[in-house]
A and B are shown apart, each in its own frame.
Chain A
């Protein structure tokens, strides 16, 4: 199975800040990388597919980058509603494995 490693595991930030979450794959996955947001007590929702394609309805302050084995999710101008845990997922090959998550806390 492809292992996905996220960092950091948690992040504390202030409203209006910019944050970056990184995700590393144990082997090259091209751009087959998705990002999900999971708010407390809710199911995950898709933010970005194909490493950088923003889903319809997702605010433009979210952006994705990377290819191969190194990826990043950046949130500019963080808002209170961004309080959540963020997961990367490789969609290159089955099983579609997830990173361990990054919990974003708002100061």
Chain B
């Protein structure tokens, strides 16, 4: 069973940047469409963007206005999410999730989630 292993919790000051990693076990990393979703305390799930692990193509939520950058290192089977100009509202658990697309049915959904990385922004 493939797992997504995320980096640990971090505390950052306002204005700083954070880079969260998401390593995929198994050997099919290049086939993944990896999405990043965050969840502020007591709030719902907010989509941030996705990266095609094979060709590196990315797509971002307009909500973050250029503050998010997704990258990947195929040799390390690892994807990264960098968020800049942090503010207190960015305090959240950040998840990576693999999007599965069933070619037979057309259904798509997040089938594998990382455990999440808690990022706290505080002065």
Seen from chain A, the residues whose Cβ lies within 8 Å of a Cβ on chain B are 32, 34, 36, 43-46, 49-50, 53, 87, 89, 91, 94-101
Contact = CB atoms under 8 A, between A and B. Distances in A.
A44 B45 contact: yes
Contacts of B61: 95
Contacts of B55: none
Name B's interface SS: strand
Contact count band on B: 20 to 34
Contacts, number: 54
B102 to A, nearest CB: 8
B100 to A, nearest CB: 9
A87 B44 contact: yes
Name A's interface SS: loop
A95 B106 CA distance: 17
Interface in B73-123: 95, 99, 102, 105-111, 113-116
